[in-house]
Each structure stands twice: as C-alpha cells, then as structure tokens.
Chain A
Amino acid sequence: MGTIGRVSAEPLTRRARLELLYCLAGIPLGLCVMLVPYLGVGVALTVALLTPGRELTPVAGVAAITALLLLVVLATRIGRGLGAVHRRLAARLLDERVAPPPPPRPGRGVLGRAVAGLRDGPGWRAVAYQLLKLPAAVLESYAVYLWAAGLVNLTYPFWWGLFRSQPPGVTLGPVPAASPFPGRALHIATYAGTFVALAVGATMLLAAPWATRAVVTADRWLLRRLLGPGPLAQRVRDLEQTRALAVDDAAARLRRVERDLHDGAQVHLATLAMHLGMAKEQLGEDGDPPDVARARELLEAAHRGAKDTLGELRDLARGIHPPVLDNGLQDALATLAATSAIPVELRCDLPERPAPAIETIAYFCAAELLANAAKHSHATLVTVQATRRDGMLLLGVGDDGVGGADPARGSGLSGLGQRVRTVDGRLELASPPGGPTRITIRLPLRP
C-alpha cells in the first residue's frame, strides 16, 4: 500500500477511531474541570443572593472566601481523582499506560490533612494537568468538529434535490455548509456547489485523524509529565526495580558457581581421592603389591583426575572473574575475540579505563553476545567495538548473520538487558529477520 492509500485509509483505522473516542470523552471532562471553580463562586453568589439587605454583605464575602479556601485545600484531591479518570481513559483508549503517582502523605486531623493536601506535589501536578486540559479540550473539540462537519458535508449532494425543488420563479437563499474554519461557513446556492461542499468535507475527513493525532500526542505528553509518578518517584521506582534485579542476579550467579563446583571440581576431587584410596589399598602396607598393573592403572586415573580438576577450577575461576580483565577491557576483549568460534573484528578505543564493575559487565555482555552469535546467527564475521561516546562506554556487537534475535525468546538477551540496567545502562537491539543483527550497549563509565 502506497502513501496515498495509507493516508486515505487512515480515517478507517482502529487507532483513529479510538483517538476520536478519547477526544470525545475529553470534552466533557475538560468542561467538568471548568465547573469546579464556578461551583465555589456559585456557592458564594447563592449566599450573597439569599442574604437580603446591604448590611449582610460581609456574610457573602466570608462565604466566598471560605468557598475559595475550601477549593484550594481540596484542589489536589480533586486533581488526583480526575487524574485517575484520565489515566484510565488513556490506558483504555490510547494504550498509554501511565503509572499512578505515589499516594499523598496522610495528615492527622482536619488541619493536618489540609496541610498535607497543600503540600502534595503530585496532586498539584494533577491540578496543572486539569488546567492545561482546558485548552487541550478546545483543540480536541476542533478535531471532533473536523470529523463531524466533514461527514455532514459529504451528504450535501444526496439531499439537495429533496429540499430544493421549489416552483420556478422562487429564489431560495444559499444553504450554509461547514468549512475547516468554524464560524466561517460556505454558502452553497447550486447543485454544482454541493460538490464543493463534498470536496471540502472529504478533505476535512482526511485531515481529521491527523489533527486528532496531533492533539492526542500533546495530551499524551501532558499525561506522562503531569499525571505520572514524577521524575523523582519514577527514579525511585526504577532503582527499586533494578536493585531487585541486581540482587536476583547476584544470587543466581552464586547458585551457578555452587552448582558448577558441586557438579565439577568436587566430583572430580572425590573421584580422585577414591582412586588414590583404591591404589593405596592395592599397594598394601608393605612388601610387594599383589597387583602392580592394577595399582598403576588406578594411579593413572587419579593423575588424569587431578589434571581435569585443575582445568575445571581454572575455567570456573575465569567464569567468576577473568584475570585478563585486570589489564583492561581492551585486552580482555582481544582474548575473547581470539577464542571466538566466528572471526571477530575488534575495534577498541578507550582513552580512559571505565570503573572495574563496568568493565566486568561489558566483558560478560560481549562474551554472552559472542556466544549467542556463534550459536544462533550463522554469521561469517562479528564486529565488536568498544568506544567512548557522550561520556558513556559504548559496546557494539554486530554480525552478518540471519538476524531474528528476540529477547522474549529467552536467548539470554533479556538477562543482559537487566544486568545492564542495574548500572543505568541501556541495551538496544536491532535484529530484523534475515539480519544483520546489531546490539548496542551503553554503560556509564562509573556505576
């Protein structure tokens, strides 16, 4: 489908429909916000009107001030309540999921609660949203107007004949039709003119989804900014999440080390001790052993076991912390590249060494990504680069393989992403089916 096809089909998409619905719902919500201050003023006015005579006007004044104070005190609560409605609406219709802000601090007593309400930052942000929703609602009504008026304009040619069959000699005035500018109507006097209305209507309908989207996009931005948890609370939430990930990751790694020791070195050593014990038995306390060949065989097995255990322990130690990392990421990556199953093109340009923890994370990411490439990509060349960009360590691993890497399919990528996030790093993946795959990891130089 070409661009023209896409543009002309846009008004029919589900997304456009849902956004229109959101605008429609936004109009009464925006208006209802406008009512809130008027309620306060209304109370004051009612009191003023109900008090006869001039001498009682102070009562009206007091009532007005009380209503105003009440409004200020309750503003954050009202803001939060309406904010929740907006968040739900946005989640339902726009799929824009904004986390709720942290609950306000509870206050004790009437005064305490009033003060808590006044000091409720997220509550005031919600109020700000409601105020900004007013102009937004005006724009949203314009978007709705484009839809509705456009549709009406389309119908002009069909009913023209029904109402314009006046006897000859009678002149009827021109009929107004909507234009894209509300308040400036088109005037249709002839049947041919109805096609102008139709054309204008079609144009308005084509423009309507884009106008809607523009307004909704602005509204989304406001929603995220003002009805979300706020930057600090969001940061706390992120840190809580990444801390949990880091703790889980550390525990999982310890478990893996224990498992490796248990299934590897410990078994080897137990077997080795068993072989030595058996050999000792064969050799006896003193004198010539009855079966020298058997004893020799057992010693041979023990010797082999000792060497295997050494290798096992060396691999395990390297898995915990590769000693070559002490010389810097450059050397460590070069070692990795040299042992990779696929040829690696390495480019390393780090004028200053990142913190050891960052180097370790970068190293293990590179190791895992190289292993992934060797396992899944069918690539003939992998490029690895470690550079510094914008004060961050940038680790790029790309290959010319088949692509289609998907973190959801458990290729260890989501685990890497989590580990990277624990230090506020980011992992970006581009791996379309058919390749190539390119993974970019950004890490701060200091954790």
Chain B
Amino acid sequence: MRVVIAEDAALFREGLVRLLQDRGHQVCAAVADGDALLAAAMRHRPDVAVVDIRMPPTHTDEGLRAALELRRRQPGTGVLVLSQYIETRYAARLLAGNASGVGYLLKDRVADVAEFADALARVAAGGTALDPEVVSQLLGAGRHAHGLAALTRREREVLSLMAEGRSNAGIAASLVISAGAVEKHVASIFGKLGLPPAEGDNRRVLAVLRFLGS
C-alpha cells in the first residue's frame, strides 16, 4: 500500500511511519499541514492518506478540510482522518453522502496495531472505517431509542460494527460467530428498523448512519 501521512506532531508522525513501514507499506510522504498534504497526494497518487484533523496554522479543522478537498480532487485515494477527539459533526461532513474510501478514527486506535492496519486497508480499498466512539455517540443520542429497543443485544453489537464499516466477515470474526449468523442478524436489524435493503458494505454504512443521524 502506498501511503501519505499528514500529522503535525513529529513524534506521532514518525511512529506512524515506522508502524506502516514495519508492516511492509510504502510511506511516500510524511508532512505536517494540509497544503503539503494536497501537494504530496497530487505528486504521489497514494492509495490512502492518513490525516490529522488539527494542524497548523489555525489548529482547528484544517486537516478535515484538506481531507475533503483531497476526496474531491482524487476520489480514488482513500482518506483516513485521525483525531484526539470525536466530533459527530466532523464525521457527518466527512461522509456527506459517500462512505467509500473514508475513515475517521481516534488516535488511540493506532495502539491496536492490527486493527488499525485493517481499518487502513479497508479505507484504501474503498471501504469505510468509523470509530466505535462515533457510533456509540450516535447510538447514545437516544434519538431512536424506541426503534433500537426492539433489537436484541447481539443485534445491537452487529449494528455498531456495521456502522463502523465492517464487512460481514469482519463482524463474524469480531464477534466470533459464523458468517451465516451475521447475515441473519443483519436481515433482522434491517427489518426491525424498517431500512431498505442495501447492497454493499458502503451503502449499508450510509443507510445505518442516516438512520442513526436522522
């Protein structure tokens, strides 16, 4: 995988570079602000970009803005946004009708190297990776407590993992159940929540998020 990294904290940036190199990925560029990210992505055409949200000069959301711009310019490049906080509004801006090749994770997730690498690979391949924190905030907002109450505990777990952007196989592996069981749960969830059946993982994520966010 060819990766570009944009992160202003040098320590963390170097750690990321090593982590990805250790796993055999090629880090084309590691930069410290949004403009440099766009320039590097233009030059290297990477499979995926890892972007910190808060970067100079304003230290607010320039990473997010650069990520959105990158998605607009190079739809083929996946964008995984990292942050120390989760803002559901940021997630909404990032997804905005298209969940393919997008990720939004807490920086903490990098500590679970294998899972992080898995999420990155998913995003690079055009999939979705949403932080469990985003999903739990949406679930916890209580806007759909009535509909969600109809779900079993297992179904809620499956729903959360779906919202994070996992495939059926990924959900099965995570919950240690069979793929068939996952399929059954998914069908049941869509039925109970009254969601239209969605083909493909990305559409499924959008359908679930739209339901939770509406």
Which A residues form the contact surface with B (CB < 8 A)? 259, 262-263, 266-268, 270-271, 273-278, 280-281, 294, 305
Contacts and interface: CB of A to CB of B under 8 A. Distances in A.
Contact of B84 (A262, A275, A294): A262
A413 B113 CA distance: 48
A277 B15 CA distance: 11
A294 B22 CA distance: 10
Contacts, number: 46
B84 A270 contact: yes
B73 interface: no
B181 interface: no
Interface of B: 9, 11-12, 15-16, 18-19, 22, 54, 59, 84, 107-108, 110-114, 116
Q: Is the interface of B mostly helix, strand, loop or mixed?
A: helix
Nearest to A291: B22
B20 to A, nearest CB: 11
B11 A271 contact: yes
A276 B11 contact: no
B23 to A, nearest CB: 9
Contacts of A263: 9
A281 B113 contact: yes
A63 to B, nearest CB: 73
B15 A275 contact: yes
Nearest to B14: A271
A250 to B, nearest CB: 20
Nearest to A273: B111
Given A262-B84, A274-B16, A275-B15, A267 B111 contact: no
Given A262-B84, A275-B15, A281-B114, A270 B22 contact: no
Nearest to B10: A267
Contacts of A271: 9, 11-12, 15
A387 B54 CA distance: 46
B108 A270 contact: yes
B112 A277 contact: yes
A266 B15 contact: no
A21 to B, nearest CB: 51
B84 A277 contact: no
A302 to B, nearest CB: 10
A259 B111 contact: no
A278 B113 contact: yes
Given A267-B9, A277-B111, A281-B113, 17 more contacts: A259-B59, A262-B84, A263-B9, A266-B84, A267-B11, A270-B12, A270-B107, A270-B110, A271-B11, A271-B12, A273-B108, A273-B110, A273-B111, A274-B110, A277-B110, A278-B19, A278-B22
Contacts of A276: 111
A262 B12 contact: no
Contacts of B108: 270, 273
Contacts of B116: 277
Contacts of B59: 259
